[in-house]
């Protein structure tokens, strides 16, 4: 099959330029020659096209995208008479949230909340329609100049009643280590609350400029969220209100049943921060203990390091005044 490159025509679509490349596919900007409409065209790499698992991912993404109708979801256009496997989507102006974070590091709380609320609205819609995204992350969110969002890439999304996908297919179905929920790390299917967990991670990142969990590799990052509590957001930025920090903690609960039960509940707290009760959390107590223990350990080792210096100084004094 001939390669798709800018300047060529794919069925009735003109390929204009490359927009992005991933391990799976190349996304082009193009034009539908039938009506002059700008579109985004996602073409899988040749070696991927023959893989049944990735073919299933493309098929699922097309089905879900075509079924959903919300201004915050990128529309997918169906066409049964294509000469090869590819997706055609609406062209969206704006920037990926990842690009914004890479450029700005973090953003003011008002803007972070505004974007989070927009995402809550989208998640409430897709969850009500039986769809769980399962790979919510800044790379899958377009933001326009008015901070309106567009959710893209439903490649590993799950529909109600679809087959279960687990940890054994990590590379295809688990999502991104920094954003997946603890239950997904454990190989469970996850539900809408898994998306809310990912949104909690992104809200933390938008406010602090870093993700709450880290490590040298994917497994270390995923293990970190199962064992440790992250740096409290207010420690990273003291301007973060206790009520907003509490909202983040509620979204990042390890047990799904302790999290927000719906995106609308998450949104209500963001819109009514003055009514969010703040309690003494184990996460904060553990962090204070860890910080105190770290401080004591540092003081101990500094003291140990100074002993030879003190001994040397004493010997030098004796030698000079003996």
pLDDT, residue 209, reads: 95
Q: Is 135 a catalytic residue?
A: yes
Determine what percent of the chain is predicted with pLDDT higher than 90: 52
Q: Look over the chain and give the mean of its residue pLDDT values, rounded to a whole number.
A: 84
Banded model confidence at residue 59, pLDDT cuts 50, 70, 90? confident
Question: Counting beta carbons within 10 angstroms of the beta carbon of residue 160, is it exposed (0 to 12), middle (13 to 18) or buried (19 or more)?
Answer: exposed
**Which range (30-39, 83-92, 145-154, 291-300) has the least confidence?**
291-300
- Beta-sheet strand order (sheet of 141-143): 95-96, 141-143, 149-151
Dihedral angle, C-alpha 79, 80, 82, 86, nearest 10 °: 70
State pLDDT tens for residues 250-265.
999 999 999 999 999 9
> What does the alpha-carbon distance between residue 149 and residue 141 come to, in Å, rounded to a whole number?
7
Kindly state the average pLDDT of the residues 216-220. Answer: 84
DSSP 157: -
- How far is 101 from 115, CA to CA, in rounded Å? 12
Task: Delimit the domains of the chain by residue range.
Answer: 9-90, 95-275
Beta carbons of 190 and 184 less than 8 angstroms apart: yes
Matching fold, domains 9-90 and 95-275: no
- Sequence-ordered list of residues with C-beta below 8 angstroms from that of 245, at least 6 positions apart, any chain: 232, 233, 234, 278
- Is domain 95-275 given the CATH code 1.10.357.10 in the classification? no
18 CB-near residues (< 8 Å, 6+ apart):
6, 26, 27, 28
**Looking at the domain 9-90, which fold is it?**
Phosphorylase Kinase; domain 1 (3.30.200)
pLDDT in tens, 266-293: 999 999 999 999 978 877 877 777 665 4
- Residue 128: per-residue pLDDT: 96
Cβ atoms 119, 150 nearer than 8 A: no
Least confident of 45-49, 296-300, 305-309: 296-300
The pTM score is 0.81
Considering 56, 79, 135, 237, which one is annotated as catalytic?
135
- Rounded to whole angstroms, what are the CA distances from 236 to 212, 240, 288? 10, 9, 14
pLDDT mean over 66-91? 90
Residue 162 pLDDT > 50: no
pLDDT at 67 over 70: yes
Q: What is the pLDDT of residue 24?
A: 78
Phi, psi of 272 (to 5 degrees): -130, 55
């Amino acid at each position: 099959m001939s390669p798709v490159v800018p300047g060529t025509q794919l069925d009735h679509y003109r390929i204009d330029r490359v927009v992005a490349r991933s391990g799976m596919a190349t996304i082009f900007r193009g034009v539908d020659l039938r009506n002059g409409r700008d579109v985004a065209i996602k073409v899988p790499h040749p070696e991927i096209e023959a893989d049944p698992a990735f073919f299933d991912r493309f098929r699922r993404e097309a089905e879900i995208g075509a079924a959903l109708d919300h201004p915050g979801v990128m529309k997918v256009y169906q066409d049964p008479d294509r000469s090869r496997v590819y997706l055609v989507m609406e062209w969206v102006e704006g920037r990926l949230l990842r690009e914004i974070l890479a450029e700005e590091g973090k953003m003011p709380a008002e803007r972070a909340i505004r974007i989070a609320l927009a995402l809550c609205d989208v998640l409430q819609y897709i969850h009500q329609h039986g769809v769980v995204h399962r790979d919510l992350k800044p790379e899958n969110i377009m933001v326009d100049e008015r901070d309106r969002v567009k959710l893209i890439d439903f490649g590993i999304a799950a529909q109600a009643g679809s087959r279960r996908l687990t940890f054994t297919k990590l590379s295809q179905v688990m999502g991104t280590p920094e954003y997946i929920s603890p239950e997904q790390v454990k190989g469970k299917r996850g539900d809408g609350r898994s998306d809310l967990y990912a949104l909690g991670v992104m809200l933390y990142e938008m406010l602090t400029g870093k993700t709450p969990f880290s490590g040298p590799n994917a497994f270390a990052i995923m293990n970190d969220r199962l064992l440790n509590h992250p740096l409290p957001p207010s420690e990273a930025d003291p301007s973060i209100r206790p009520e907003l920090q509490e909202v983040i903690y509620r979204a990042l609960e390890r047990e799904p049943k302790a999290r927000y039960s719906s995106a609308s509940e998450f949104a209500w707290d963001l819109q009514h921060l003055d009514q969010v009760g703040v309690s003494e959390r184990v996460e904060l107590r553990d962090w204070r203990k860890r910080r105190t223990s770290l401080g004591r350990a540092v003081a101990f080792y500094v003291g140990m390091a100074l002993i030879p210096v003190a001994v040397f100084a004493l010997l030098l004094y004796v030698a000079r005044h003996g």
